[in-house]
Amino acid sequence: MQPILNVQNLTMDFGGIRALDHLSLQVHSGEIVALIGPNGAGKTTFFNCITGIYKPTKGDLLLTPPGKKTKKLNGLKPNKVTEQGLARTFQNIRLFPNMTVLENVMIGRHCRTRSKIFGAIFRPPGTRREEEEIIQDSLDILKKIGLAQLANEYAKNLPYGAQRRLEIARALATNPFMLLLDEPAAGMNPQETLELDELITTIRDDGLAILLIEHDMKLVMNISDSIFVVDYGKKIAEGSPEEIAKNPAVIKAYLGEEIEHA
Amino acid sequence: MLSFKDIRQGLLVALWFIFLTFPLLVIKINPIENSVNWRWLNMVYVGSFSFLIYLITRMVMARKLERQKKIKLGLVKEKVAWSIKLFSQPRLYLPLLAAVAVFFLLFPGLFSTYQVNIMITALMYVVLGLGLNIVVGVAGLLDLGYVAFYAVGAYTYALLNMHFGLGFWTVLPIGGVLGAIFGILLGIPVLRLRGDYLAIVTLGFGEIIRLILENWSSFSHGPSGISNISRPGFFGIELSLEMSIVYMYYLTVLMVLFTIFVVNRLQDSRIGRAWFALKEDEIACQAMGIDKMKTKLTAFSLGATWAGMAGVMFAAKTTFINPASFTFLESAIILCIVVLGGMGSIVGVIVGALVLILMPEYLRAFSDYRMLAFGAILVVMMIFRPQGIIATLRRTYTVKGDLE
Ligand SMILES: Nc1ncnc2c1ncn2[C@@H]1O[C@H](COP(=O)(O)OP(=O)(O)O)[C@@H](O)[C@H]1O
Ligand SMILES: [Mg+2]
């Protein structure tokens, strides 16, 4: 089967530093793929390259949306990448703090809606309908994520775990077929992590593919279909959770981290 | 509440101010008698005044901190701002709104032509403030050259009126469109810059436009400006000077209402949300599929459109314009209106404009100290109420169905 995301020999240099070194990775439809590695290994940089925030030095980024032709992501602006159906969250939460929870999700609907200045000022029926749909769709997503009762709260007032979930909700609002999550469990307590685990599986069951950066080994081993391990920008291992847990190179890279524990 | 440390600090502050103002306020040289006049009393004034001010600020700040601590500990509830209380209850604000409407409707009948003229000026600044509010308050693009678009509008009317005899109503939309075009032309290269860089470049652009108007005499009549610009026509009827001022007043009120209507609808729309989000976090915005350049450009050029239309009205009101009306100080004042009133808040900007424009007019007695008072107010506001007179509040939605 053809992968929906096919990254070939991705290389990214920052001045003299090679943050990514000929990294290849594939994600297939409906899979949860984890990208793990020590701090500074280049995982976030990998996301930034795919989503157009950084321009990769070398390599190909190929995206095959379901039922569509393969498209090269290289050189696309971040908003165009999102339009292709690839949505992401950020390691350091980047919500719109002074907007309400609902509005945060409504922003996600932006790229799937059309009304312009004329519509904004004169509010013809089409615009009204669209606006109502935006609100309704956003609310539905919030319900699914379990944040509906906080809809009118400012994003900055949410507890940490809820903020991370809101980031996922906002990403889902862009109608992606693939979701990139950058350390979604960071800073969560075990209970919140467990709920996140469920949430991610539900999203996958809705038909989305998920590429996940995560430090929480237990979470990763639990839910991933395949795992890629990077260190110093290079891929050191790939395979199923069982294979990875046994891989000596991985154990060495994590030196002391309780990988077998999971 | 005040500790010994505060008092010592206060004395230091007083000393510092005495030192700073010493050459200006204490020493007075009499060149005729070749003598120095020492005004020691001034020194005492400066010293005690700055000492007192310092202590008062300390006290207010300490109280504020105390409150915040208590709020954090959950001892007291956060106070709901009076403006939010007011606007959340129709019972309170509807009568107020009616009173304001009646006041503005009857204004020309109640006050002299002189007062009406001042009010027209203030209302024009309301329009300018609301226009700049889109750019700075909502979209977060610091534009220090806003007056350039105002000048574009004013000269559009002046020149088209002089050369082709075009009337106010024809030129009003043309001025707006030209403002927008200039906004787009400037915006395309400049909006790639962020924050302070954008501020500097727009500032430069404002000065360039003014310098062109000043020096390209064959085009703009240079510093002497253009006079005898027609007032707005009233169905072809000749109006007396007084009547035409009253007419202008109502036109301006209409323009304000129109602006409020449009700005309000824009803010509460897909585009308006995107502007606000862009101000909050550009990268997150792009990751949500928002085209950064396009969105910024619409905000920037819409703001310029309003400046252009306000410019046309300004030229029609004064019937005379020259480049001196479009200095950086104008941009600064409009920016102050937005910041002081409350970034992004329509009511705030209106109140800000009325306060900042009317106050100096009615404090003419202190005209020497106008700029001083202006500066002092801004400093005090930014320390104690950085969110402006009226803080913005995001819209909440209730949807048919439920929020569970
Ligand atoms: N914008 C940048 N400029 C220079 N170096 C960067 C930049 N972004 C990331 N890096 C470097 O790339 C390496 C990988 O960083 P990152 O992708 O954040 O790691 P991870 O997410 O795996 O912890 C680090 O050495 C980091 O310093
Ligand atoms: Mg990272």
**Is residue A256 pLDDT above 60, yes or no?**
no
Note the pLDDT of residue B88. 73
ipTM: 0.92
Which of A101-110, B215-224, B375-384 shows the lowest per-residue confidence on average (mean pLDDT)?
Answer: B375-384
Whether the CB-CB separation of B356 and A65 falls below 8 Å is answered with: no
Find the helix or strand (DSSP H, E) in which A18 lies: strand A17-27
Does A137 share its domain with A24?
Answer: no
Q: Say if residue A122 is in the same domain as residue A146.
A: yes
> Is residue B391 predicted with pLDDT exceeding 50?
yes
Does residue A261 belong to any structural domain of this protein?
no
pLDDT value of position B80: 66
Give contacts of A116 with chain B, Cβ < 8 Å. 271
- Asked if the Cβ–Cβ distance from B286 to A90 is below 8 Å, we say no
Same domain assignment for residues A192 and A151? no
Q: Which of residues 203-242 of A touch B (CB under 8 A)?
A: none
| pLDDT surpassing 80 at residue A50 | yes
Nearest CA in chain A to B302: A117
Residue A90 within any structural domain of the chain: no
CA A164 vs CA A16, A195, A212, B218: distances in Å:
34, 12, 14, 62
Lowest mean pLDDT among A19-28, A137-146, B320-329, B370-379: B370-379
**pLDDT winner (highest mean) among B4-8, B171-175, B226-230, B396-400:** B171-175
- Chain A residues 167-186 within an 8 A CB cutoff of chain B: 170-171, 173-174
Residue A10 pLDDT > 70: yes
> For residue B404, how many other CB atoms are within 10 A of its CB?
10
Do A80 and A101 lie in a common domain? no
Q: Which of B272, B281, B283 sits opposite A120 (nearest CB)?
A: B272
Phi/psi at B81 (5° precision): -60, 145
Mean pLDDT of chain B: 88
Query: Residue A170 domain-assigned?
Result: no
* Mutation target vs B (from A79, A103, A152; most B CBs, 10 A cutoff): A79
B403 closest CB neighbour out of A96, A112, A148: A148
Are A143 and A188 within one domain?
Answer: no
Give the pocket of ligand 1 (CB within 6 Å).
Answer: A 14, 17, 19, 37, 39-45
In a domain, A168, yes or no: no
Give yes or no for residue B280 having a pLDDT over 60. yes
* Res A262: pLDDT: 43
Token pair of B40 as six digits = 């020691």
Asked whether the beta carbons of A78 and A72 are under 8 A apart, the reply is no
In angstroms, the CA A186 to CA A179 distance is 17
Tell whether the model's pLDDT for residue B321 goes beyond 70: yes
A32 phi and psi, to 5 degrees? -105, 115
Q: How far apart are CA B314 and CA B296, in angstroms?
A: 27
Ligand 1 center to A48 CA (angstroms): 10
Final residue belonging to a domain, choices A132, A163, A194: A163
Residues from chain B contacting residue A83 (CB–CB below 8 Å): 289
pLDDT exceeds 80 at position B164: yes
Please give the Cα distance from A97 to A19 (Å, whole number): 31
Distance A90 CA to ligand 2 centre (A): 9
The answer to whether residues A194 and A81 belong to one domain is yes
For the residues B301-315, what does the mean pLDDT come to?
Answer: 96
Q: What is the pTM of this model?
A: 0.87
Compute the average pLDDT of residues A19-23.
94
> How many CB atoms lie under 10 A from the CB of residue B273?
24
Residue A260 in domain: no
pLDDT of residue B403: 45
Q: Is residue A225 part of a domain?
A: yes
Q: Which of A140, A163, A186 is the last residue of a domain?
A: A163
Give residue for tokens 């440390």: B5
Q: What is the mean pLDDT of residues B111-128?
A: 93
Encode pLDDT of B69-100 as tens digits. 887 776 666 666 676 777 777 787 888 889 99
State the pLDDT at residue B38: 86
Note whether A39 contacts B: Cβ–Cβ < 8 A. no
Average pLDDT of the residues in A59-83: 93
Show Cβ contacts of residue A248 under 8 Å, excluding neighbours closer than 6 positions: none
Distances (CA, A) of A3 to A26, A208, A258: 6, 13, 31
- Residue from the list A53, A111, A143 with its beta carbon closest to the beta carbon of B288: A111
Q: Are residues A142 and A246 in the same domain?
A: no
Tell me how close the Cα of A47 comes to any Cα of chain B, in angstroms: 11
- Examine the domain organization and report whether A180 and A153 are in the same domain: no
pLDDT at residue B404 greater than cutoff 70: no
Q: What is the mean pLDDT of chain A?
A: 91
Average pLDDT on A169-188 reads: 94
A136 touches B at CB < 8 Å: yes
Asked which of A163, A198, A217 is the last residue of a domain, the reply is A163
**Are A185 and A71 in a shared domain?**
yes
Q: CA–CA distance from B262 to each of A113, A120, B93, B259, B302 (Å)?
A: 21, 9, 21, 5, 11
- Ligand 1 centroid distance, CA of A45 (Å): 6
* H or E segment to which residue A14 belongs: strand A5-14
3-state secondary structure of B30: strand
Residue B212 has pLDDT above 60, yes or no: yes
Q: What is the pLDDT of residue B1?
A: 61
Residues in A 50-89 with any Cβ partner in B closer than 8 A? 51-53, 77-79, 82-83, 87-88
Question: Tokens 């509807």 map to which residue?
Answer: B94
- A10 and A47 co-located in one domain: yes
The pLDDT tens digits of the residues spanning B128-161 come to: 999 999 999 999 999 999 999 999 999 999 999 9
CATH code at position A231: 3.40.50.300
Say whether both A17 and A135 belong to one domain: no
Closest chain A CA to residue B263: A121
Residue A243's φ and ψ, nearest 5 degrees, are -60, -45
Summarised one tens digit per residue, pLDDT across range B340-355 is: 888 889 999 999 999 8
Contact residues for B393 (Cβ-Cβ < 8 A; gap 6+) = B84, B87, B345
Please tell me the total count of domains within chain A.
2
**Percent of chain A residues topping a pLDDT of 90:** 79
Segments forming the whole domain that contains residue A120: 97-163
Whether residues A143 and A197 share a domain: the answer is: no
Cite the DSSP H helix spans in chain A: 43-50, 78-84, 101-108, 117-122, 125-145, 160-172, 190-205, 217-223, 241-246, 248-254
| pLDDT score recorded for residue B290 | 95
Cβ neighbors of B235 (< 8 A, separation 6 or more) are none
pLDDT value, residue B376: 79
User: For A218-250, what is each residue's pLDDT tens digit?
Assistant: 888 889 999 999 999 999 999 999 999 888 888
